[in-house]
Amino acid sequence: MRILLKVLYWLAVLAVSLALVVGLILWFESRDESDIDGAGPVLRVITSA
């Protein structure tokens, strides 16, 4: 019985950790305002330097 509780505990820890990682990734991606089309002038400056 004790082993079962430890396994359930670590499965819950893993599930919460994965949920936090996915949530943070989605949150950072939603705040990302980069646009590939707008990168043209920056790339021209970098390549001409």
Q: Report CA 25 to chain centroid distance, whole Å.
A: 2
Chain segment 9-25, per-residue pLDDT in tens: 999 999 999 999 999 99
Q: Which domain, by its residues, includes 40?
A: 2-48
Mean of per-residue pLDDT scores for the chain:
82
Residues 6 or more apart from 10 whose CB is under 8 A from it?
A: none
Q: Which of the four pLDDT bands, split at 50, 70 and 90, describes residue 32?
A: confident
* Number of independent structural domains in the chain: 1
Tell me the two tokens of residue 41: 């002038």
